[in-house]
Amino acid sequence: MNKRILTGDRPTGKLHIGHYFGSLKNRVKLQNEYETYIEIADVQALTDNFNNPEKVRNNVREVVLDYLSVGIDPKKSTIFLQSMIPEIAELTVFYSNLVTIARLQRNPTVKTEIAQKKELFGESVTYGFLGYPVSQAADITAFNAELIPVGEDQLPLIEQCREIVRKFNSIYGETLLEPEAVLSNNKRIKGLDGNEKMGKSLGNALYLSDSDEEITKKVMSAVTDPNRIKKDDLGNPNICMVAYYHALFNKENHKTVCEECKAGKRGCVACKRELIEKIKEELTPIREKRKYYEDRPELVDEIFVTGTEKARKVAKETMKKVKKAMKLDYFE
């Protein structure tokens, strides 16, 4: 049997080009070689959106549409909803004994995210948010996944999962698989504002479903070299987000773009216009495919329900093994 992959996204917004270059393109390729499970992590999304259930609910469908629009094939990949798999919640409770609060507080990703969410959490973070790496370890192990394709921000979470697996196996006997992270070549796509990470919750994203007008508006106001005022000023493409996105959407001309910018031979407006055209070229077929599925809601429902049922069966099998190992196998 092929190795199993687990990936997923939080339904906190539509998917953006960070997801596209950082993970979706990779997933579309990997689904041909591996048994792929893709989780819409709505329970995890609630950890920092507990006060906004509508947002999470509405974005579940948006994320499924984004998957289908980029070429995730439901015949090859199992798309499922986290909250419909109660075994994940059950595993989370068992694993919570195997990790200390200090260890969670030291997790660099959790640390950064708590700092970004001061407005929501104030001085004291919730138990649920601090513990989301434990729940993520349950997501991964429920499906016996060996490979986890993720962006760079997820590495500390995979490491934490590996520790939980080792601890579980050493106490209760060899039961769980230790997963491995797989990084794509674009492990962290920067935001339109120059932030190190484009993120749905950071307000700096270019979405796969953005209209031509939105693309134009966003690229026109993206962060560029602040010292470059006139066309013939010598530019620094290393601090310009437009040059940065040329490397993704206009790979063949990226070198020329940078050379002309440095030599003061390329105006920022023309440079932005060229990028906008390239982005439209790449995103138009994706948006068309999205429209196809938007017009067929029953088809999307069917894909989602079938995927969730299939995933639940796998999680139930894992649960049986885990309960047996933990001496919790009382009766059916």
Report the nearest approach of ligand ATP to the CB of residue 60 (Å): 12
- d(CA 26, CA 103) in angstroms, rounded, equals 31
Q: Which is nearer to ligand ATP, 158 or 325 (CB)?
A: 158
Report the nearest approach of ligand ATP to the CB of residue 16 (Å): 6
Contact 259, 235 (CB under 8 A): no
Contact 208, 14 (CB under 8 A): yes
Report the nearest approach of ligand ATP to the CB of residue 261 (Å): 23
Q: Which is nearer to ligand ATP, 201 or 236 (CB)?
A: 201
Where on the chain is the footprint of ligand ATP (CB under 6 A)? Answer: 9-10, 12, 18-19, 22-23, 150-151, 153-154, 188-189, 197-202
Backbone phi and psi for residue 147, each to the nearest 5 degrees, phi listed first: -120, 135
Residue found by looking up tokens 């917004």 in the block: 13
Report the nearest approach of ligand ATP to the CB of residue 66 (Å): 11
Q: Which is nearer to ligand ATP, 91 or 150 (CB)?
A: 150
Report the nearest approach of ligand ATP to the CB of residue 7 (Å): 6
Q: Which is nearer to ligand ATP, 109 or 169 (CB)?
A: 109
Contact 129, 121 (CB under 8 A): yes
Q: Which is nearer to ligand ATP, 22 or 156 (CB)?
A: 22
Backbone phi and psi for residue 224, each to the nearest 5 degrees, phi listed first: -125, 180
For residue 70, CA distances in Å to 26, 136, 191, 245 come to: 11, 25, 20, 19
Contact 194, 137 (CB under 8 A): no
**Roughly how many angstroms between the first and final C-alpha of the chain, as a whole number?**
28
User: What are the tokens at 249?
Assistant: 């959407």
Report the nearest approach of ligand ATP to the CB of residue 305 (Å): 22
- d(CA 170, CA 8) in angstroms, rounded, equals 28
For residue 26, CA distances in Å to 36, 111, 116, 209 come to: 12, 28, 28, 19
Compute the C-alpha angle 256/258/261, nearest 5°. 105
Region for 122 from its dihedrals, namely left if φ exceeds 0, alpha if ψ lies in -120 to 50, beta otherwise: left
Amino acid (one-letter) located at 288: E
Q: Which is nearer to ligand ATP, 186 or 224 (CB)?
A: 186
Report the nearest approach of ligand ATP to the CB of residue 197 (Å): 5
Report the nearest approach of ligand ATP to the CB of residue 299 (Å): 24
Report the candidate in 90, 100, 205 with the shortest Cα–Cα distance to residue 163.
100
Q: Which is nearer to ligand ATP, 31 or 319 (CB)?
A: 31
Give the list of residues 6+ apart from residue 141 with CB closer than 8 angstroms, or none.
Answer: 91, 161, 164, 165, 176, 177, 179, 318
Q: Which is nearer to ligand ATP, 4 or 19 (CB)?
A: 19
Q: Which is nearer to ligand ATP, 243 or 319 (CB)?
A: 243
Report the nearest approach of ligand ATP to the CB of residue 195 (Å): 9
